[in-house]
Structure 1
Amino acid sequence: MTTPGAASTALLTDHYELTMIQAALQSGAANRSSVFELFARRLPEGRRYGVVAGTGRFLDALEKFRFTDAELEGLKSRGVVDDTTINWLANYRFAGDIWGYAEGETYFPGSPLLIVESTFAEGVVLETVALSIFNHDSAIASAASRMTGVADGRPCIEMGSRRTHEESAVASARAAYIAGFATTSNLEAGRRYGVPTTGTAAHSFTLLHDDERAAFQAQIDSLGVGTTLLVDTYDVPEAVRTAVELAGPDLGGVRLDSGDLLVQAREVRAQLDELGATNTKIVVTSDLDEYAIAALQAGPVDAYGVGTQLVTGSGAPTAGMVYKLVAREDGDGTMVGVAKASKNKTSIGGRKYALRRIDSHGRAEAEVIGIGERPTNDGNDRELLVPLVRGGEILDRPTLDSARTRHSSSVAELPRKAKQLSRGEAVIPTVYLDEQP
């Protein structure tokens, strides 16, 4: 059964977004030209950089941000806003401009990740949907980047679907792929976004059969000798012997999901080599995070399956981003910077421009933010803001492959200490240029 209005994203918002519009319509300020900015005041504690993810999903949500009869009737029946506001929402179509960091780009405290130029009413209503997407997806991508960074080329498999909300699972698989994960177990992420999927069998498959041998034989008969067999249901050495006996030296892989994974991986590698299965891969799973992966790098592990810690951001489930009004039209028609100045939550007013300062060796050395005008590019610096929407029309959507490539190149240009897991400050400073008159 289809839920009325399910195709619309307009109610993925907070009540106060609409009551602000109602009050602004009454005061006459709703149509004032405005600039909103999405940014993070700080990185999660100890993190060296963040990764932008969710841009493509946000653009999809923007395209569906329409108040249909179903949404309007619901708002009216619950008395959320008055008739004047209902009529305004019925005609809502975002007609402004949006700029943003390319999906997959690294970011730092104060980076203007999304800039929305529109009327106040058009822009403010996008606050919640933008934040919910970018805060979630960027948190997952940032954690995934730390994991793929320490994995150092060994494939990481996203397999956290059972540890989060079903739609969060799909978004997490997408974000993880952007940050370098090789595959996902989530089939909807494969269908919706084209993320490569993989999977074989769980312990229940082994327990279903009369013995381990029968389970292994059934899996090999169905999936071929290149499959990966789960060998820790009962006795690992015995399972490895049985696996190679049945599949031969061309057995694709074995998976370890419990115990001391580093010790077991070394023992299993030696056993596989002794049995002639020198090309059989060892995949490890079991509540891994970036620290566990770093420790396992000392062993003969060929791939990592990561679940819970990835889809919960490995200790930082939100990127801590905010969406603030930073400039608005004054009474005489000029644009003026505005900013919140309360304790511990200060903002910097004015329309921002950003570039990544690159040194003569091709390494990033600063995030340079211009206020009111673009910072001067000394020749090899990178402009960070790209046009996403112009006059309400969505421009080229970022592809998953382009975002994945952007992530790889962006991380590669950071100072080497960016991959350190020890707690520290952002790997490059954020520098604000003086505001222009």
Structure 2
Amino acid sequence: MVAQHPSAPLAACEGGDVTRSTALLTDHYELTMVQASLHAGTADRRSVFELFPRRLPEGRRYGVVAGVGRALDAIESFRFTDEDVAQLLDVVDERTCEWLASYRFSGDVWGYAEGEAYFPYSPLLVVEGGFAEAVVLETVLLSIYNHDSAIASAASRMTWAAGTRPCIEMGSRRTHEEAAVAAARAAYVAGFASTSNLAARQRWGVPTTGTAAHSFVLLHDTEADAFRAQVDSLGVGTTLLVDTYDVAEAVQAGVEIAGPELGAVRLDSGDLGVLAHEVRAQLDALGATGTRIVVTSDLDEHAIAALAAAPVDGYGVGTELVTGSGHPTCGFVYKLVARAGDDGEMVSVAKKSTDKGSVGGRKHASRRLDDSGVATTEVVGTAAPDDAHHRQLLVPLVSGGEVVGRTTLDEARRHHLRARAELPRAASKLSRGEPVIETLHV
């Protein structure tokens, strides 16, 4: 389709950059709460926090969990350096600075596997530890999960609409440079085949792809000169961008220069469906029956679905993907749901509000399946159902401060495909609707 490069070594898939401290990727009030709890003697009180959505983004039928691996890296890298502490001397008192300087998360974390589907009130993360050590993780965990899951949720709809045709992530220039790397990773989890972002290849092993832009064609005196230079350098399997001037003339020149073995042509403007049919007919008439057609240009899941009947071989998606296709965040929250009482026993706690309430108590989560293996209900409660018709959703991620639940991106991709295939067929609809399965509190 387009020039593609192999993944980076497997080690890059299993963990990104864990050398940079994530401790200051937080909010001011997290640290003032630590100070106040130290003063009150409650900083070490055993506590359970849960990260969850109250609802799906409006009109969506399911969501997709992503960012788990990045969150585990963030927990490992949550260390206050001497320089960090020095900058906080006017934020919190000396005692708190000493506590921060020695911070290491020592608790336990359970969560939904990366690539899993989620629904309203799914407990995507359960964090248990002392109050202070768990509360300071709130901002960075929400930042990662809200962004990455929004991208993966959009990407899943796009890859479902694309069917067997591959999708390429190419939105780096449409978002913050670091968000671009995370977006490429999240899209890969949800089924995208590759990315244009080289940092995502370096850090996470996501395959990269790309050939040339309009500027390369405009650089040369003629389109034919540009195509000849590209083919001479990259080979006949390259992808030629054919909509700089006249599409038909460009296709003709491309096949004349590369021969019928030309790898692919890319369309980036105009009525893509009509053009794809015209280009396919022209390529076939020229004997280039194996040359593929890749389309780009502000695609989203709806545009991809509309091109299902067109002779298109792949899609390049940018802006709509990295902005969550209209929903750039998932609205996840991180709430205290249980804490130790004076006698040491865990006590259920919850915020009471008409529109921002939470359900107290440490949760278990399972997905109820019918006899055909199709999901019917998200079951969330303080007791774990134990029968063959329930698939348990929470897996151990951190035990005693040590990461135990890291997976590779390829494992996350496979998990996503299994979880998505388990959903009712209505989940694939792109029309606005309610969650495809209900959440039952028990």
Aligned residues: 425
Determine the structure 2 residue equivalent to 1:427: 436
Alpha-carbon separation, structure 2, partners of 1:195 and 1:366: 33
* Residue pair 2:395, 2:405 contacting (<8 A) in 1 also: no
Secondary structure at the aligned position of 1:104 is classed as coil
Alpha-carbon separation, structure 1, partners of 2:129 and 2:105: 8
Unpaired runs of 5+ in structure 1? Answer: none
Aligned pairs (5 A) from 1:302-381: 302-371=313-382, 373-374=383-384, 376-381=385-390
Unpaired runs of 5+ in structure 2? Answer: 1-17
What residue identity is the alignment partner of 1:225? V
Secondary structure at the aligned position of 2:88 is classed as helix
Residue 16 of structure 1 pairs with residue 29 of structure 2: yes
Determine the structure 2 residue equivalent to 1:166: 177
Determine the structure 1 residue equivalent to 2:13: none
Q: What whole-Å deviation, never above 9, does each CA across 1:66-103 have from its counterpart, x for those lacking one? A: 01101000111xx1000110011111110000000000
RMSD over equivalenced CA pairs, Å: 1.0
Secondary structure at the aligned position of 2:178 is classed as helix
* Residue pair 2:167, 2:316 contacting (<8 A) in 1 also: yes
Aligned pairs (5 A) from 1:147-166: 147-166=158-177
Alpha-carbon separation, structure 1, partners of 2:273 and 2:386: 48
Q: CA deviation at 1:28?
A: 1.1
Determine the structure 2 residue equivalent to 1:246: 257
* Residue pair 2:49, 2:134 contacting (<8 A) in 1 also: yes
Q: CA deviation at 1:396?
A: 3.6
Determine the structure 1 residue equivalent to 2:6: none
Q: 2:47 aligns with which of 34, 42, 65?
A: 34
Residue 25 of structure 1 pairs with residue 34 of structure 2: no
Alpha-carbon separation, structure 2, partners of 1:7 and 1:139: 24
Residue 411 of structure 1 pairs with residue 420 of structure 2: yes
Determine the structure 2 residue equivalent to 1:66: 79
TM-score, normalised to structure 1, is 0.96
Q: CA deviation at 1:333?
A: 1.2
Alpha-carbon separation, structure 2, partners of 1:99 and 1:378: 21
Aligned pairs (5 A) from 1:258-297: 258-297=269-308
* Residue pair 2:188, 2:206 contacting (<8 A) in 1 also: yes
Q: What whole-Å deviation, never above 9, does each CA across 1:288-328 have from its counterpart, x for those lacking one? A: 00010010112001000000000000000001100000001
Alpha-carbon separation, structure 1, partners of 2:156 and 2:415: 12
* Residue pair 1:232, 1:239 contacting (<8 A) in 2 also: yes
The alignment-based identity, stated in percent, is 71
Aligned pairs (5 A) from 1:39-118: 39-76=52-89, 79-118=90-129
Determine the structure 2 residue equivalent to 1:218: 229
What residue identity is the alignment partner of 1:17? E
Q: 1:199 aligns with which of 194, 210, 214?
A: 210
Alpha-carbon separation, structure 2, partners of 1:34 and 1:284: 51
* Residue pair 1:55, 1:398 contacting (<8 A) in 2 also: no
* Residue pair 1:151, 1:293 contacting (<8 A) in 2 also: yes
Alpha-carbon separation, structure 2, partners of 1:320 and 1:406: 23
Aligned pairs (5 A) from 1:171-182: 171-182=182-193
Q: What whole-Å deviation, never above 9, does each CA across 1:107-136 have from its counterpart, x for those lacking one? A: 000000000000100100000000000000
Q: CA deviation at 1:196?
A: 0.4
Residue 141 of structure 1 pairs with residue 119 of structure 2: no
User: Where has structure 1 moved over 2 Å in runs of 4 or more?
Assistant: none
Secondary structure at the aligned position of 1:57 is classed as helix
Alpha-carbon separation, structure 2, partners of 1:13 and 1:343: 28
Secondary structure at the aligned position of 2:133 is classed as helix
Secondary structure at the aligned position of 2:29 is classed as helix
Alpha-carbon separation, structure 1, partners of 2:352 and 2:215: 56
Q: CA deviation at 1:6?
A: 8.2
What residue identity is the alignment partner of 2:33? M
TM-score, normalised to structure 2, is 0.95
Secondary structure at the aligned position of 1:100 is classed as strand
